[in-house]
Structure 1
Amino acid sequence: MLKIVADSKIPFLEGALENVAQVVYLPGGKITRDHLTDADALITRTRTKCNEALLKGTSVKIIASATIGYDHIDTAYCEANGIKWTNAPGCNSGSVKQYIASALAEIIRLENRSFEDITLGIIGVGNVGSKVAAMAKTLGIKVILNDPPREHSEGKGEFTDIETLIAQSDIITMHVPLSHQGIDKTFHLANADFFGKMKRGAWFINSSRGEVMETQALISALKSKHLAGAVIDVWENEPDIDLKLLELAHLATPHIAGYSADGKANGTAMSVQAISRFFNLGLDSWQPTNVPQAPQLELEMDCTSKPREQIFTEICRFAYNIHIDSDNLKKSPETFEQQRESYPIRREPENLRIKIKGEKNCVELVKNLGYQV
């Protein structure tokens, strides 16, 4: 019988494959080569380093990662040894967009800025970056885009060189994969030179990978007040994060930007479907049926005479209060991993209803942000 080893913390997975395979669930960080000797497949997250040390001499034929990122997979080794690998691109893009919206709302509230006065630089315009860009444009924020791999394949189009983006942006948000080599490597892309060239008083947001930023360089930029603030969800050396950066970051969260229930369900579904297609299991359209529903949330909002910035801030706070996650991590950084693993149910905008009283353009704004009205 087919044998599958799976990270026990992948949500909604239990019961999906048991009718067609023997499934062994183990903590992701404790999966070893011995567990995989006779396994046909591995379903994983970022906590399992899928490299030669783990895979050599095993019978693993496919690795399915229920995550957007795949830097935990030694893709060259897998490809050289006939091991197929898949990830889940875009699975939690809506969740990360929601996180960025809450971060933007907090920055706008703190600085009392109007949308039209803000330039947002987006580095990495894939599934997540594209959604963040569309949201910002809906609000009337000026957007600058940088994505060298896409520019190489598609042409310059609307893309801007990174030097211009750094110099002109009031807020920079990172949405790139982690790569250590090549002309488009992203390891420590945000380094001392990068931060030094940012506008004085600008903001930095990272929800991509911790190693994309150079921690000590960001600490220096924040300590010197060159940057007004930072919003950090991903860290070097997780879960042993830098406590000085934790202190200095205005908002600091434990790698949960993509942790909505919807995003988790999407990632799990994509992994099960990949395994099904590879082994012809007949589950190519499988979707989890056990996604818990958050309490039906309704916000009644009187938009009469309110500026759009205030409306946006109130909606973001209602949909996802980023301060709760930040306060929890700042109080207890040693429980970083536990906070991820016991993360409460968070639903994305299409599952939330807002009752609007006020101008028609307010209704259109709320609809364009993805909420039920």
Structure 2
Amino acid sequence: MPKKIKVVVDAAIPFLDGVLEPYAEVVRKEGRQIGPEDVADASALLVRTRTRCNAALLEGSSVRFIATATIGTDHIEFGYCNSKGLMVTNAAGCNAGGVMNYVFSALYGVAARKGLPLEGMTLGIVGVGNVGRLVERVAGILGFKVLKNDPPRMASEGPYGFSTLEELLAQSDIVTMHVPLEASTTGMCDDAFFSGMKDGSIFINAARGEIVDESALKRHASKFKALILDTWNNEPDIDRELLEMTDIATPHIAGYSYRGKQNGTAAAVRAFARYFAIEPLYDFFPKTEYLELESVKLDVKGRTQGEIASLLQYNYPVFTDDFMLRTAPEEFEALRSDYKYRREFYID
């Protein structure tokens, strides 16, 4: 195939060396630096969350296809893209395993540090899509009582098995957020939300920073036994005062498992290939370069809380990521872009 397609690619998308070049002219740039001059004569964009795909970037360009190698799509202005007939795809569910790993490594890790017994606790999941479903399944295996809140699913499936947000907050010992960022969820974790939570509960946000009103969170921080944050308002310029209030703080890397990154890149490349009819890439999946990063199954049956905590920390030592951010919060973006992808584990 002649090289007629020009594709602009976020340089931080992994596993792409030499993959697209046989079929397209490839321009690589740091995601935040991709500008109108780069996309003016491009046919396609492969991006992550740091590239705002809106009129300011795309107006007058020849772009007709955008793939984001991420679950989140809040960096894409769908109204504009739809009005221009642009095809947009995302990598739904690509990092669900990595985020699940983060939630339970962080939860068991902080419980071990603070001497908190998890037995008999109720875990409330707000947002039960690809990530939330996986968190739900693993929570059940680990013996938690699970409450779920997901208004779109309640509307389509009926209320059975779901709780209202007010019920979930009032009854949960742990609340973990897994909603997308959209108009209805922006700032949803506000004063009323935190007031509705139990005193002595645990709050985890590994979704999007902007779902949390951080001023409200700081006002209520003293009520939590533990506060775990992976995502923040105004990244990379995060609130240092809030950072000091957390028990675990990480630089938006919850989903950064090796398998998750493979999944995200594969989804973007496959969608690109199908749109442009590049058959050799229809079933593309990155090779695993390091066998030690192959996913591993963990057996938790019959293990004590302490044994599970040790097992999870061995496979994902979340406190290393916490330490790195606390040491140099000004390096937030570098900690993300230079992150050493970790091995993903699963629990059956």
Q: What TM-score, normalized by structure 2, do the two folds share?
A: 0.94
Amino acid at match of 2:33: K
Alignment pair present for 1:327 and 2:330: no
Structure 1 residue 16 displacement after superposition: 1.3
Q: Distance in 2 between matches of 1:57 and 1:154?
A: 42
Amino acid at match of 2:148: L
Amino acid at match of 2:54: N
Q: Distance in 1 between matches of 2:67 and 2:126?
A: 27
| Residues 290/14 of structure 1: CA separation in 2 closer, same or farther (3 Å cut) | farther
- The answer as to whether partners of 1:261 and 1:291 remain within 8 angstroms in 2 is no
Alignment pair present for 1:285 and 2:268: no
Q: Distance in 2 between matches of 1:310 and 1:124?
A: 28
Q: Aligned Cα RMSD in Å?
A: 2.1
Q: Distance in 1 between matches of 2:200 and 2:81?
A: 45
- The answer as to whether partners of 1:261 and 1:345 remain within 8 angstroms in 2 is yes
Alignment pair present for 1:191 and 2:190: yes
Structure 1 residue 14 displacement after superposition: 2.0
Q: Distance in 2 between matches of 1:207 and 1:186?
A: 14
Q: How many residues align?
A: 344
Structure 1 residue 13 displacement after superposition: 1.4
Amino acid at match of 2:80: Y
Q: What TM-score, normalized by structure 1, do the two folds share?
A: 0.88
3-state SS in 2 of match to 1:236: coil
- Tell me the residue number matched to 1:349: 345
- Give matches, 1:167-316, under 5 Å: 167-180=170-183, 185-222=184-221, 225-282=222-279, 283-289=281-287, 291-294=289-292, 308-316=304-312
Alignment pair present for 1:318 and 2:314: yes
Gaps of 5+ in 2: none
Q: Distance in 2 between matches of 1:142 and 1:300?
A: 21
- The answer as to whether partners of 2:15 and 2:265 remain within 8 angstroms in 1 is yes
3-state SS in 1 of match to 2:225: strand
Amino acid at match of 2:206: S
- The answer as to whether partners of 1:294 and 1:346 remain within 8 angstroms in 2 is no
- Give matches, 1:1-373, under 5 Å: 1-110=4-113, 112-180=115-183, 185-222=184-221, 225-282=222-279, 283-289=281-287, 291-294=289-292, 308-349=304-345, 369-370=347-348
Amino acid at match of 1:52: A
| Residues 155/4 of structure 1: CA separation in 2 closer, same or farther (3 Å cut) | same
- The answer as to whether partners of 2:295 and 2:344 remain within 8 angstroms in 1 is no
- The answer as to whether partners of 1:12 and 1:290 remain within 8 angstroms in 2 is no
Q: Distance in 2 between matches of 1:56 and 1:197?
A: 44
Q: Distance in 2 between matches of 1:201 and 1:5?
A: 48
- The answer as to whether partners of 1:200 and 1:227 remain within 8 angstroms in 2 is yes
3-state SS in 2 of match to 1:117: coil
Gaps of 5+ in 1: 351-368
3-state SS in 2 of match to 1:237: coil
- The answer as to whether partners of 1:294 and 1:345 remain within 8 angstroms in 2 is no
Structure 1 residue 115 displacement after superposition: 4.2
Structure 1 residue 324 displacement after superposition: 0.3
Structure 1 residue 290 displacement after superposition: 5.3
- The answer as to whether partners of 1:115 and 1:139 remain within 8 angstroms in 2 is no
Deviations 1:50-106 (A, max 9, x none): 001101100101100000000000011101110010110100100000001101212
Structure 1 residue 109 displacement after superposition: 2.0
Structure 1 residue 27 displacement after superposition: 0.8
3-state SS in 2 of match to 1:294: helix
Q: Distance in 2 between matches of 1:298 and 1:39?
A: 40
Amino acid at match of 1:99: Y
Q: Distance in 2 between matches of 1:4 and 1:299?
A: 37
Structure 1 residue 295 displacement after superposition: 6.8
Percent identical pairs in the alignment equals 44
Amino acid at match of 2:319: H
Structure 1 residue 10 displacement after superposition: 0.4
Q: Distance in 2 between matches of 1:33 and 1:297?
A: 39
Structure 1 residue 341 displacement after superposition: 1.2
Structure 1 residue 113 displacement after superposition: 4.5
